[in-house]
């Protein structure tokens, strides 16, 4: 068979939707309310009269609603469960308004009131479902980031997630001092379970037993995993299926954790409602967290004023809370990134240099290494998709009926159903082992999953060779050998195939994702007990849900370090983001440009500014800073109505007073501009000195192909800390050519390198 035929075979599957199933709770339903209810959920912004105080706003919201809904409440037949109140949450810290369950008529009446500003449908978000500290260079250096930051001591990381398993050893408070006096949060767990590590635990889900949370407060496990990645206490001999063993420890092991439960896997309430996220964020602001870690995402197409996550994160950011969010698992198609507002840090996912080896004749991966299996020695090998049928190719449930897979090694293609489910289907049909083969789209990203039978996950290239071998051999056989955990894999880090790609829909002129961090096969705490010995467990998961808390923990280290040193103690969220972006790595461990799932150099829509380098981020030299008011002309430039801008910024904005700028003119640490041939754009930027007191920088340019770049002035001299200097960058496209041209602007001094990606797209 010719190679052309093989690639057209795989192309068939490239066209199909690639489903990246993290685990069963990734629900993306758009249901407006509970089953059988005639009501829908809305988030209503209102103008609070001066006579109503901040403290009285809840009473005021209740009175507004009760007048309007009194007539309808009694006749709301079929409205289950009736325990859910009409007023869901009343917001005080991050916007003036409330969320409520309303009928179409009620909404219509409300929209005519003079206190009404606007209403948005309550969107549903989904969860974007430890070796990493070493991989990031945090261990083995007495003088490094962990020492400078005292491992995040004194910093509070809030997580909006599915809850937390309080009694897991990853949340032991051994060696963790009490929370700082500013802390105003609370813990709804029975007392002994909260401690100096886990200082807050609250639920924002209606219908849960009041005050007495369920025994298992994270029925999903997701929130336990993300919290331990951000700030888990070191636990030695942590492992999943005996592999990836070692010490499991979070990025900021001495930071405090506050868990805000906004998602649940309960069958009746399975959703992460925007209204709950707003309520969780409202509480986190009240409680005085320093960093928010949010591994959830919604519809990539929402404008910022329709997106409760973006609205609430804006208020959080403007009072100094750093917000780190996951980019989504909908890659590698372009334009799939979620949470792409410029005030948040949007985190993509990349691989580490660890491989949990399960080798066929090729290099593959499997977490569950089953040594005692017939597949140790060569046994018959089959591919149910050999005739080009999609379902048997994917080993989807019920599709193997016509195939004799008993006692054989079965090749299954990724997509259609979950990766672990494929193994369950093969096992149920009597198969002895599985080779999980990547689609063309997934390329070289392989993942260590806990498969139920001997299995090996192989790249597309290797999979094609295996299929070719089956197709040309009378009695094809295969064996799988398990080699345990191996380090120093080539092409690490590389961007995971599933990691969502830019540009963001709401503001394509801001380069997103911002950065990548470890998000493939990450070991962290898990909510289930080991059935054999009833001990707490750890689990390996993959997703941008896993990379986001890495960055949250590193942001906590930055905050802690600059708090201890005293000097630039008040780094803003934008300054911290700039530090992370301008110091990120752009080459992998072998010195080559960081690659994507195809082993091609990753483009900026996959990689953002690069892969996080926590050591370097501690000391960036210069930062591109932003304050709340800097976003006002940006919103005007997006063409938003002034009323909608006021919903986001919680204050009146007059565009003819504040003016209007292009997206690329925001003082952002990266550049993304669309230019036609001959077109030219001039962008102003301001740099702030956070390095040595006095230092000289010069501009070095790696121009994108076909683009002429000029920087004025080419040298900047800073005399003292916090001093600001302005410069202009002129970008002119000289020739037709690349759809995406990439380059860098680097400000270089004797001790610092401040690098910004420049992405030029064609019109
Ligand atoms: C919804 O209504 C259907 C049919 O009326 C009924 O069978 C079902 O039990 C109801 N579901 C709930 C959750 O009340
Ligand atoms: C570690 O940090 C402390 C300050 O917290 C500092 O005094 C000490 O010199 C640092 N250790 C090294 C090896 O740099
Ligand atoms: C297997 O080989 C046959 C004959 O060369 C070819 O027609 C078919 O497309 C091949 N199937 C696959 C899945 O490669
Ligand atoms: C496959 O479908 C059957 C019947 O619906 C179900 O019992 C079984 O649990 C499914 N298997 C998997 C792995 O989902
Ligand atoms: C905005 O400012 C302009 C110029 O000062 C003024 O004419 C206009 O009335 C203002 N608009 C609003 C809505 O206040």
Domain boundaries, the chain: 3-122, 128-353+494-566, 355-479, 627-665, 667-762
At 481 the pLDDT is: 74
* Percent of the residues in the chain that have a pLDDT greater than 90, as a whole number: 48
Whether residue 108 has its Cβ less than 6 Å from ligand 5? no
Task: Name the closest-CA residue to atom 10, ligand 5.
Answer: 654
Q: Which CATH superfamily is domain 128-353+494-566 in?
A: Peptidase S8/S53 domain (3.40.50.200)
Q: Which atom of ligand 4 is nearest to the CA of 397?
A: 1
Q: Which atom of ligand 4 is nearest to the CA of 417?
A: 14
Task: Name the closest-CA residue to atom 14, ligand 3.
Answer: 6
Mean pLDDT of 444-461: 84
Nearest to 362, CA basis, from 472, 466, 474: 466
Mean pLDDT of 352-379: 63
pLDDT tops 60 at residue 269: no
SS3 686: strand
pLDDT digits (tens, 9 = 90+) for 592-623: 999 999 999 999 999 999 999 998 999 999 99
At 453 the pLDDT is: 87
Q: Any catalytic annotation for residue 61?
A: no
Residue that wins the pLDDT comparison between 173 and 67: 173
Residues pairing with 516 in the sheet: 348, 611
Q: What is the distance, to the nearest Å, from the Cα of residue 561 to the centroid of all Cα atoms in its chain?
A: 24
Whether residue 81 has its Cβ less than 6 Å from ligand 1? no
Task: Name the closest-CA residue to atom 8, ligand 1.
Answer: 36
| Cα(312)–Cα(524) distance, integer angstroms | 28
At 217 the pLDDT is: 73
At 248 the pLDDT is: 77
Most ligand 1 atoms within 8 A of CB, residue of 36, 76, 268 to mutate: 36
Nearest to 432, CA basis, from 398, 456, 414, 466: 456
| Cα(73)–Cα(52) distance, integer angstroms | 26
User: Which residue stretches of 209-269 are H helix?
Assistant: 222-231
SS3 166: coil
* Percent of the residues in the chain that have a pLDDT greater than 70, as a whole number: 82
- Cα radius of gyration (the chain): 26
pLDDT digits (tens, 9 = 90+) for 137-187: 555 455 677 777 888 889 999 999 988 988 899 999 988 999 999 999 988
Whether residue 8 has its Cβ less than 6 Å from ligand 3? no
> Two tokens at 515?
């950065």
At 16 the pLDDT is: 20
pLDDT digits (tens, 9 = 90+) for 485-525: 666 677 889 999 999 999 999 999 999 999 999 998 888 88
Topology of 355-479 in CATH? Glucose Oxidase; domain 1 (3.50.30)
In angstroms, the Cα distances linking 335 to 76, 326, 495, 610 are 41, 15, 16, 18
pLDDT tops 90 at residue 367: no
Contact between residue 435 and residue 409 where contact means Cβ atoms under 8 Å apart:
yes
Token pair 């690490």 is at which residue? 492
Contact between residue 365 and residue 521 where contact means Cβ atoms under 8 Å apart:
yes
Written as one string, the DSSP assignment of 352-370 is: -S-EEEEESSS-EE-SS--
- Ligand closest to Cα of 392 equals 3
Mean pLDDT of 350-367: 63
pLDDT tops 50 at residue 737: yes
Most ligand 3 atoms within 8 A of CB, residue of 4, 5, 385 to mutate: 5
Q: Do domains 355-479 and 667-762 have the same CATH topology?
A: no
Q: Give the active site residue among 148, 161, 290, 630.
A: 161
Q: Which helix (H) or strand (E) holds 574?
A: helix 573-582
Q: Any catalytic annotation for residue 625?
A: no
How many A from CA of 466 to the centre of ligand 3?
A: 13
Q: Give the active site residue among 222, 460, 611, 752.
A: 222
For domain 667-762, the question of CATH label 3.30.70.141 is answered with no
pLDDT digits (tens, 9 = 90+) for 703-730: 999 999 999 999 999 999 889 999 999 9
pLDDT tops 80 at residue 134: no
Can you give the pTM of this predicted structure?
Answer: 0.82
pLDDT digits (tens, 9 = 90+) for 83-118: 567 888 899 888 889 998 888 888 998 899 888 999
Q: Any catalytic annotation for residue 481?
A: no
Whether residue 119 has its Cβ less than 6 Å from ligand 4? no
Residues pairing with 725 in the sheet: 687
| Cα(544)–Cα(338) distance, integer angstroms | 11
pLDDT tops 70 at residue 579: yes
At 686 the pLDDT is: 98
């Amino acid at each position: 068979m010719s190679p052309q035929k093989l690639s057209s075979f795989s192309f068939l599957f490239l066209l199909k939707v690639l489903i990246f199933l993290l685990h069963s709770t990734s629900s993306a339903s758009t249901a407006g309310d509970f089953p059988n209810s005639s009501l829908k959920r809305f988030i209503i912004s209102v103008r609070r009269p001066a006579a109503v105080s901040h403290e009285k706003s809840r009473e005021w919201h209740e009175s507004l609603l009760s007048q309007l809904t009194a007539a309808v409440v009694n006749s709301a037949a079929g409205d289950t469960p009736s325990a859910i109140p009409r007023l869901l949450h009343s917001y005080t810290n991050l916007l003036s308004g409330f969320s409520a369950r309303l009928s179409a008529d009620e909404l219509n009446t409300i929209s005519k009131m003079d206190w009404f500003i606007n209403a948005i449908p309550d969107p549903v978000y989904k969860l974007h479902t430890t070796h990493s500290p070493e991989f990031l260079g945090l261990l083995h250096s007495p003088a490094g980031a962990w020492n400078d930051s005292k491992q995040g001591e004194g910093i509070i990381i809030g997580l909006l997630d599915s809850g937390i398993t309080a009694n897991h050893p990853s949340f032991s408070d051994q060696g963790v001092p009490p929370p700082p006096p500013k802390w105003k949060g609370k813990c709804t767990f029975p007392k002994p379970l909260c401690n100096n590590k886990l200082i807050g635990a609250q639920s924002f889900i209606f219908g849960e037993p009041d005050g007495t949370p369920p025994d298992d407060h994270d029925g999903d496990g997701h929130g336990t995993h993300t919290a331990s990645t951000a700030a888990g206490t070191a636990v030695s001999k942590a492992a999943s299926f005996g592999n990836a063993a070692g010490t499991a420890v979070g990025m900021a092991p001495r930071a405090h954790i506050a868990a805000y439960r906004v998602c649940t896997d309960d069958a009746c309430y399975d959703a992460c409602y925007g209204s709950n996220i707003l309520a969780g964020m409202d509480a986190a602001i009240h409680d005085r967290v320093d960093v928010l870690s949010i591994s959830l995402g919604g519809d990539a197409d929402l404008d910022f004023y329709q997106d409760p996550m973006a609205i609430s994160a804006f208020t959080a950011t403007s009072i100094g809370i750093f917000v780190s969010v996951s980019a989504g698992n909908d890659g590698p198609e372009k334009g799939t990134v979620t949470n792409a507002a410029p005030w948040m840090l949007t985190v993509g996912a990349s691989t580490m240099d660890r491989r949990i080896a399960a080798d066929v004749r090729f290099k593959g991966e499997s977490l569950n290494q089953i040594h005692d299996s017939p597949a140790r020695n060569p046994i018959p090998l089959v591919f149910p998709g050999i005739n080009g049928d999609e379902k048997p190719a994917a080993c989807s449930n019920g599709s193997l009926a016509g195939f004799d897979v008993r006692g054989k090694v079965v090749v299954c293609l990724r997509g259609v159903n979950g990766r672990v489910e494929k193994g369950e289907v093969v096992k149920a049909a009597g198969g002895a082992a599985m080779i999980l083969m990547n689609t063309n789209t997934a390329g070289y990203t392989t993942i260590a999953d806990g498969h139920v039978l001997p299995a090996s996950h192989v790249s597309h290239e290797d999979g094609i060779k295996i299929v070719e071998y089956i197709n040309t051999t009378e009695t094809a056989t295969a064996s799988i050998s398990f080699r345990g955990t191996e380090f120093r894999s080539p092409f690490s880090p590389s961007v995971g195939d599933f990691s969502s790609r830019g540009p963001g829909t709401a503001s394509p002129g801001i380069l997103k994702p911002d950065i990548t961090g470890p998000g493939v096969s990450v070991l962290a705490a898990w909510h289930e007990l080991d059935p054999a010995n009833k001990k707490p467990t750890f689990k390996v998961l993959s997703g941008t849900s896993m990379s986001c808390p890495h960055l949250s923990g590193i942001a906590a280290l930055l905050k802690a370090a600059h708090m201890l040193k005293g000097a630039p103690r008040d780094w803003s969220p934008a300054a911290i983001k700039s530090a992370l972006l301008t110091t990120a790595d752009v080459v992998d461990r072998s010195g080559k440009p960081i690659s994507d799932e195809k082993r091609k150099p990753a483009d900026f829509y996959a990689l953002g500014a690069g892969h996080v380098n926590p050591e370097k981020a501690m000391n960036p030299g210069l930062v591109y800073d932003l304050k709340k008011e800097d976003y006002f002309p940006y919103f005007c430039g997006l063409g938003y109505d002034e009323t909608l801008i006021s919903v986001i910024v919680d204050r009146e904005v007059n565009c003819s007073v504040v003016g209007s700028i292009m997206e690329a003119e925001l003082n952002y640490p990266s550049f993304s501009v669309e230019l036609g041939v001959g077109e030219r754009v001039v962008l102003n930027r301001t740099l702030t000195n956070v390095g040595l007191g006095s230092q000289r920088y010069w501009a070095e340019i790696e121009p994108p192909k076909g683009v002429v770049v000029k920087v004025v002035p080419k040298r900047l001299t800073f005399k003292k800390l916090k001093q600001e200097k302005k410069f202009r960058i002129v970008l002119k496209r000289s020739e037709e050519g690349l759809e995406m041209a990439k380059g860098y602007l680097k400000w270089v001094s004797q001790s610092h390198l401040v690098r910004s990606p420049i992405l030029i797209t064609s019109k």
